Amino acid sequence: MSTQPSPPKIDVRHLTFAYPGATAVFADFSWQAAPGEAWAIIGPSGCGKSTLLYILAGLARPVSGTVAIDGTPLDRPRPKTGLVLQDHGLLPWATVTQNARLGLTVWRFYGVDDRHAPPDALMDDAAIDARVNEWLTRLGIADLRHQYPGHLSRGQRQRTALARTLVMQPDLLMLDEPFSALDAPTREDLQQLMDDLLAETALTRVIVTHDIDEALHMGRRILVLGGGRPQVVDNPCARSCGTPAPEDFLRQRRHLRDLLGERV
């Protein structure tokens, strides 16, 4: 327990959100995540998981309620929030390197204005190159640097999207279905990398998934969304906390399934 109360990393209060002409996805929803936590958000499709990520990333505005990151109300995308969407959103006409550099290119395009780019943004070419190369190497895609996204496998595209986000050294990393449709070795590999990052840096991580096992693997705390009130499940048996006893894992699994089952 720290003696100095720091603001929650993510502080959502009384959030209401609806797409125009549709019923509310969130009504009076409140949720807090502490710095350094690893969260999984799980729920059936259409429950608003991805929408919540868009709101937390400053890409969608709530109808009412507030969202604050580090105690600062959010009204635009925040430079230190990293977001990787399910479809990666890579530029099809840019190579792996150019895609990985994009965030830093955008920062440099605006200059350090503390609005689009953080005050400590990397601005010189050599330093940017070095950092991009470092991440391409660590993600195992250094050999693909001159390839276009259309020529890559799904896993390679996911690695490129991760590189693009990680070169910006985010303190909040949000991933939408990051491991779905990946082959098992790639999934394992990326999950391990995510856990290493969590251990190495002061990173808060939010992963959105529809997969119960993945939520249990990746989320030390799990936010269950769906028809009823959102619920938080503590999950000490996530992989980042060591290998869980099988019976604990199965019990948690049943618990989550029950929670989700009520909502179908």
Partner 1 sequence: MRARIPIPPAVIGLAMFLAIWEVLSLWVHRPILPSPVTVVPIFAAGIFGDLGQHFLASAGRVLAAMVLSVVTAVPIGLGLGQMQRIDRIFAPLIAIVYPIPKIVFLPVIYVLMGITDLSKIFLISLIIFFQILVVVRDEAANLPPELILSVRSLGAGRRALFRFVYLPASVPVVLTALRLSAGTAVAVLFIAEQSLTTYGLGYYIVVETYQVLRYPEMYAGILAMGLLGLLIYFAIQGLEARFTRYQKRNDA
Which residues contact partner 1 (rule: CB under 8 A)? 54, 57-59, 77, 79, 81-94, 102-103, 105-107, 109-110, 116-117, 148-151, 161, 164-165, 168
Is residue 149 within 8 A of residue 99, CB to CB? The reply is: yes
Q: Which is nearer to partner 1, 157 or 217 (CB)?
A: 157
Q: How far is the CB of 165 from partner 1 (least distance, A)?
A: 8
C-alpha span between 63 and 246 (Å, rounded) = 43
Beta partners for residue 61, in sequence order: none
Whole-number Å distance between alpha carbons of 209 and 49 = 8
Q: Which is nearer to partner 1, 86 or 231 (CB)?
A: 86
Q: State in angstroms the smallest separation of the CB of 22 from partner 1.
A: 16
* Closer CB to partner 1, 104 or 212, in the complex: 104
CB of 40 to partner 1, least distance (A): 20
Name the residue type at position 160: T
- Least Å from the CB of residue 61 to partner 1: 13
Confirm if 220 and 238 have CB atoms less than 8 A apart.
Answer: yes
Residue 130 to residue 132: CA distance in whole angstroms: 6
Contact partners, residue 91, CB within 8 Å, separation at least 6: 98, 99, 102, 149
Closer to partner 1 at the Cβ: 62 or 82? Answer: 82
Of 57 and 222, which has the nearer Cβ to partner 1? 57
Give whole-number Cα distances, 13 to 22, 27, 138, 139, 165, in Å.
Answer: 21, 10, 38, 36, 27
Residue 143 has which token pair? 């050999």
Report in angstroms how near the CB of residue 245 gets to partner 1 at its nearest: 38
Q: Which is nearer to partner 1, 91 or 241 (CB)?
A: 91
Shortest gap between Cβ of 97 and partner 1 (angstroms)? 13
Name which of 8 and 79 has its Cβ closer to partner 1. 79
Q: How far is the CB of 2 from partner 1 (least distance, A)?
A: 30
Round to whole Å and give the CA distance between 172 and 82: 6
Cβ-based burial of 66 (10 A; exposed 0-12, middle 13-18, buried ≥19): middle
Rounded Cα distance, 100 and 132, in Å: 7
The separation between CA 60 and the C-alpha centre of its own chain, rounded to angstroms, equals 16
- In this structure, the strands spanning 204-209 and 172-176 are parallel
